[in-house]
Amino acid sequence: MDAADREQLLARLRGVVGERYAFADPYEMRLYQYDASPETALPDIVVIPGTAADVARVVKICADAQVPITARSAASSLAGGTVPVEHGVVITFARMDRILEIDPDNQRAVVEPGVVNLALSQALKPLGYYYVPDPSSQGACTIGGNVGTNAGGPHTLLYGVTVNHVTGLELALPSGALVQVGGRKAAAASGYDLTGLFVGSEGTMGIATKIWVKIQPLPPVQKTLMAVYPDVETASNAVSAIVRSGILPAAIEMMDKLSIQAIEAASHAGYPLDAGAVLLLEVDGIPELVDELGERMAKACRESGATEVRVAKDEAERQALWKGRKGAFSAMGRLSPDFYVMDGVVPRTRLPETLAKIDAISARTGFKICNVFHAGDGNLHPLVLFDAFKPGQYEAVLRIGDEILKLCADAGGSVTGEHGIGLEKRENIRYVFSDDDLEVMDRIRRVFDPHGLMNPGKVFPGEVLEGSAPSRAPDHASRRAAAGIGGDDVWV
C-alpha cells in the first residue's frame, strides 16, 4: 500500500474508531507482525474497534478499498493464523472483551470475540457452569480466536470441540453486513448451518463479532490419574487399550521424557523426571461412580504396562498436574531458545508407529523433538527444538515439520487437529485434500469473500487462491463433450 492510500484509509478508519484506536506508525506495526508461531509479516494499519457496529464499518471500508483484513485477538496462534501475510489492516479485539450475557435458563452465554476463554469459565463457575473447550492456552486465547480455529483442548475428547459448543454468531462480512446466524436455541431448524460452516474458517469468511455458546454444568467430581510408563511406545499402546476397555475418560494426555523435564523446570507440577512417558488421565462423574471408574482406569493402566499409577489426592495436586500440562509448550523455552510445534492427528491405533517414525526423524536430523499431546484423540504435538539465530536451522525445522505432517496424513490422519492450517500449513493441506476438495471449499469462501480480502494467504495453497472458476460451454451437447463424457454407462 503506498503512503497516500494508507493515509486516506487511516483517516476513514479513524472516523469510525477515533484517533487513538487506528494507527499506521511503522514502529507500532512491528508489534502486530507476530503471533505465537515463528511467522512474521507487517500490517499497514492496525484498528482496535470497540463495538460490533464499528467492526462492520471497518470491514466495509477496507473491503471497499480492496485492502486485506486480518482479525487478531490474543494472537496466540501457533500456525501464523493472525500474521498479516498480505499486509493491509489488522483488526484486534483487545477492547471487545465483554461477557454480554449469561443465561443459565437457556444454558447459553453471549460473548464478544475478545473474551478470554478461561475468563468465561471463571465467570460461570459461581453458577455451577463452565464452557467446555479448554485449549492449553485458555488463559490467554479468546473465544473469537477459538471460533476461528475451531479450537480443541484436553477435555474435548469426551465433550467435543468449539463447534460443538457454539450455537450462534454475529458476523461482520466484507459486504458490510452485520448478520446473525444461529442463536440461542438448541439446533438449527431451517436454512443451512452457517454457524457450523463458519467455525474453523480461520477468518477467511468474515469476522465473528458476537458469539452464542453453550454452557454446561460442572462435573460434580473429577478424578485425575497420572500413569508412569517406561517408554513412549508402551504408553501409546496403552491409550488404545484404555479406550477399548470401555471407559472413555474426559481427557488422556501424554508427555514424553523431554517434555516432563521442561514442565518440571517450569512449574514443579509433580511429574516424575525419570519416567519414559506419562499419561495424564481424567474421569469425571457423580461421586458414586468416579471412584469405581478411577480404579478401573488405574487397573487398565497397570495392565497396559504402567509402572506406577498415582491419583491426584486433592484439587491442588490436580490443578498442579494440569497447570504443568497446559504450560508445556511455553515451558519449552526452558530447553531451547525456539521451538516449532506441529499439530498432526492420527487414528489412535496408529500412535505407536507414528511416534516411532518421529523419533527416527529426530535421530536422523539431530534435532530434539518433544512430544506432549492429546493422546486420547490421536492429536500429536511434536515440538522441534531449535535456535532461530543459527543460520539454516529454521529452514531445516520446516522440512522436518513437513515430513511429520506427511506421515500423519499417510496414516489416515490430518495435518491439523486444533491449531488450524493458518499460514504455515497452507501447502501441507494438500496431503489431506485433493484439488477438487479445495476447489469446492474455495467456491464457498468466495461466497463470503469474493475478492479474497479476509485473512488472505491462509488455509488455501497459493495456486488455489489464484485459480478461477471454470467456464461453461453453451449448449447441452457441447457441454457434454466438453465435460469429456461419452461411451457406455454403468447405470442400472
Plot region of 46 (φ>0 → left; ψ -120 to 50 → alpha; else → beta):
beta
Residue 237 or 307 with smaller CB distance to another protein: 237
Per CB under 8 A, contacts with another protein among 74-103 are 74-76, 92, 94-95
Of these, 9, 62, 119, 397, which contacts another protein (CB under 8 A)? 119
Tell me whether residue 57 or residue 72 sits nearer to another protein (CB atom).
72
Give the binding range for another protein (CB under 8 A) out of 222-230, 273-281, 357-365, 482-490. 482-490
Query: What cell was used for 296?
Result: 478401573
Nearest approach, Cβ of 364 to another protein (angstroms)?
26
d(CA 367, CA 17): 47
Asked whether position 243 contacts another protein by CB under 8 A, the answer is: yes
Whose Cβ is closer to another protein: residue 364's or residue 479's? 479
- The cell numbers describing 283, all together, are 474421569
**Beta carbon of residue 435, minimum distance to another protein (angstroms, whole number):** 9
**In terms of CB distance, is 219 or 307 closer to another protein?**
219
The stretch near another protein (CB under 8 A) out of 223-231, 249-257, 271-279, 439-447 is 439-447
Interface with another protein includes 457 (CB under 8 A)? no
Cα distance between residue 205 and residue 172, in whole Å: 9
- DSSP per residue over 137-190, as a string? TTTT-BHHHHHHHT---TTHHHH--GGGGEEEEEEE-TTS-EEEEE-SSSS--S
Check if the beta carbon of residue 67 is closer than 8 Å to that of residue 1.
yes
Q: Is 437 in the site for another protein (CB under 8 A)?
A: yes
**CB-wise, 307 or 398, nearer to another protein?**
398
Q: Which of 75, 79, 90 is nearest to 28 (CA)?
A: 90
Select from 332, 372, 407, 454 the one that contacts another protein (CB under 8 A): 332
Helices H, strands E: what count in the chain? 17, 18
Nearer to another protein, 296 or 364 (CB): 296
Which residue of 123, 141, 147, 375 would you call a contact of another protein, by CB under 8 A?
141
Contact letters for another protein, residues 374-413 (x by CB under 8 A): x--xxx--------xx-x--------------------xx
Does residue number 189 form part of the binding site for another protein (CB under 8 A)?
Answer: yes
Assess contact for 369 and 382: CB atoms under 8 A.
yes
Q: Residue 195 interacts with another protein (CB under 8 A)?
A: yes
CA 160 to chain CA mean position, Å: 13
70 and 87 in contact (C-beta within 8 Å)? no
Shortest Å, Cβ 492 to another protein? 5
Helix H or strand E segment including 217: strand 216-217
CA angle in degrees (0–180, nearest 5) for 165-166-172: 160
> Across-strand partners of 217?
129
Task: Count the alpha carbons within 13 Å of 481 in the hemisphere toward its beta carbon.
Answer: 5
Residues 254-293 that bind another protein (CB under 8 A): 265-267, 285-286, 288-289, 292-293
Min separation Cβ 76 and another protein, Å: 4
Query: Residue 323 in contact with residue 260, Cβ under 8 Å?
Result: no
Nearest distance from residue 363's CB to another protein, in Å?
A: 25
Residue 161 grid coordinates: 470441540
Q: Which residues inside 6-65 make contact with another protein, applying CB under 8 A?
A: 21, 25-36, 38-42, 48
As measured in angstroms, the least distance from the Cβ of 422 to another protein is 10
C-beta of 444: minimal distance to another protein in Å? Answer: 6
Our finding on whether 303 is near another protein (CB under 8 A) is no
- Angle, vertex CA 268, rays to CA 262 and CA 269, nearest 5: 95
Question: Does the protein bind another protein through residue 429 (CB under 8 A)?
Answer: yes
Distance, CA of 404 to chain centre = 18
- By CB under 8 A, is residue 489 in contact with another protein? yes
User: Which residue, 195 or 362, has its beta carbon nearer to another protein?
Assistant: 195
Identify the residue among 12, 65, 107, 272 touching another protein (CB under 8 A).
107
Question: Kind and range of the H or E element at 196?
Answer: helix 194-198
Distance between CA atoms of residues 360 and 366, nearest Å: 10
- Residues touching another protein: how many (CB under 8 A)? 149
Contact with another protein (CB under 8 A): which of 70, 224, 236, 414? Answer: 414
Per CB under 8 A, 137 contacts another protein:
yes
Strands 216-217 and 129-130: antiparallel
